[in-house]
Chain A
Amino acid sequence: MNLVLTFLVGGALCAAAQILIDKTRLSPARILVGYVVLGVVLFALGIYTPLFEAVGCGISIPLVGFGAAIGKGVKSAVDTDGLLGILTGGLTATSSGITATLFLGFLLSLIAHGKHKKM
């Protein structure tokens, strides 16, 4: 795995989103949703896994990685549990990230209440 590629791919995904924001009327929330769905699609097409092996966090830290984690979770749950896996796999695979983010958000809202200015 190549650290230069990690930097280039991660940077390119962000640059592409920036161009979309500047050149179209897409809101940041839409970009995020688009990237997550793209992640599921890339995983489903078998493109994500070899890409991850080549660039690691360059593809997994952009939100594409969140979508791919859902796809990966669904696939391995379907492999072991069959039909039920379609419903359990996605959120199981991403539970640590979602739980950590929500808990952190709640905790910080208790501490930083009112001191913060929104972007």
Chain B
Amino acid sequence: MQGLNEKEKSAIIKKCTPKSRVVKNTLSAFFVGGGICLFAELLRRLYIYLGESEENAGIFATLSIVLIGGIFTALGIFDRLARHAGAGTLVPITGFSNSVVSSAIDSASEGYILGVGSKIFTVAGPVILYATVSGVIYGLLYYIYLSL
């Protein structure tokens, strides 16, 4: 595909991707992703029912999903599911958990300092960085707004 500009490349990709596959991928992402969110919401309600505050129940639900995502990754179940679900497992916090755990496990053979220690941030790093940067920008704007 050398010598082609971005537009031509994406036109070719579009042409080569069968429509039915896109529809199937989108549907499975929808159902798996929706299912994970629904499961998390049920957990959140369970934690509220068990006496947690609204805020902590939300945190515990998120942490539960992170834990399940991580364990499924280590057991190799996550990859099998993700192959079909695509963005359905990527976009929920399971995707974050999977990227951290799989990078950590895969890089263990490269040592624990420069292997696990740095590669654990391969995907988590960009996510945390750009969330933090946007947070600071928002904070500055909000501070200025309050001082007006």
Contacts and interface: CB of A to CB of B under 8 A. Distances in A.
Interface of A: 3, 6-15, 17-25, 28-29, 31-33, 35-37, 39-41, 43-44, 56-58, 60-63, 65-67, 70-71, 73-75, 77-78, 82-83, 85-87, 89-91, 94, 96-98, 100-102, 104-106, 108-119
B34 A119 contact: no
B143 A86 contact: yes
Interface-centre pick from B27, B33, B112, B142 (highest chain A CB count, 10 A)? B33
Contact of A31 (B79, B90, B135): B90
A40 B67 CA distance: 24
Contacts of B78: 119
A97 B66 CA distance: 8
A65 to B, nearest CB: 7
26 contacts: A12-B30, A15-B26, A22-B25, A23-B17, A32-B96, A32-B127, A56-B41, A56-B44, A61-B40, A61-B62, A62-B37, A63-B91, A63-B95, A63-B96, A65-B93, A67-B131, A87-B139, A98-B124, A98-B128, A105-B104, A105-B116, A108-B71, A108-B104, A109-B104, A112-B105, A116-B105
B95 A28 contact: yes
A118 B95 contact: no
Interface residues on B, range: 35 or more
Contacts, number: 283
Interface-centre pick from A28, A31, A119 (highest chain B CB count, 10 A)? A119
B100 to A, nearest CB: 4
Contact of A78 (B41, B107, B146): B146
Contacts of B9: 25
A29 B127 CA distance: 8
B93 A97 contact: yes
A112 B73 CA distance: 10
Nearest to B124: A101
Interface in B59-106: 59, 61-63, 65-67, 70-71, 73-74, 76, 78-79, 82-83, 86-88, 90-93, 95-106
Given A32-B95, A94-B131, 6 more contacts: A11-B35, A14-B32, A22-B17, A36-B134, A43-B138, A57-B43
